[in-house]
Amino acid sequence: MKAELTEYWTRRGRRYYREFRRKSAPEKSRYDGQVAESQRALTTMSPVGSILELACGFGRMTAVLRRTFPAAYILACDLSPSQIKKAGKLVKGVDFRVADATLLDLDRTFDLVVACEFYMHLPDDDFTLVMDNVSKWSRRFAANVDYTGTGQLLPTESGLVYQFRHDYVEAYHQRAFPVVRQYPLPSQTIFVAERGAAE
């Protein structure tokens, strides 16, 4: 299954990368809006000296993280080697690694753990596992950008599903992130979770 997932996301990543480089009018509007709102959300977090990014793809959100936190150490992971190669060309000064976020084993913590359009692809068991690890890895902040809907499961051509039913606010609250701010986008939401002064 992992080989199938890697191949699927490699194909999808190529398409996303072409869209990103070409930036047709609809895609440019979507990407630019997501970037602007993401930067606004990220600037509410301070201090941030270290960042873990899950499922970084070709580095689109990594570039936003690098610009927003120029001095921070960033570890960015993706299960596709070709996507990591593209990311390394797009963003400099980042520790890029090929890794499956559901199998990632880290012995350190970070000020911020972030994922963009990743959790919505996880089945319930994997989502619980990854969120438990996010709680373990994050000292202060966690953030994600995902499509949100009415709880539907939409199949893809690979047999994967889009999990629009995850309750991100509740998932963060269950893991000792009492503060969750939301920044709405067309069809998406940016969630910024904070442990709070007492943590």
Q: How confident is the model at residue 73 (pLDDT cuts 50, 70, 90)?
A: very high
Higher pLDDT, 173 or 30: 173
Is residue 59, in this structure, part of any structural domain at all? yes
Is residue 45, in this structure, part of any structural domain at all? no
Is residue 24, in this structure, part of any structural domain at all? no
The three-class DSSP label of residue 70 is: coil
Is residue 26, in this structure, part of any structural domain at all? no
pLDDT tens for each residue of 113-129: 999 989 988 888 999 99
100, pLDDT greater than 60 = yes
Is residue 79, in this structure, part of any structural domain at all? yes
Q: At 144, which CATH number?
A: 3.40.50.150
pLDDT of residue 54: 98
pLDDT of residue 8: 58
pLDDT tens for each residue of 170-185: 999 999 999 999 999 8
Total number of domains in the chain: 1
3-state secondary structure 110-166: EEEEEEECCHHHCCHHHHHHHHHHHHHHEEEEEEEEEECCCCCEEECCCCCEEECCC
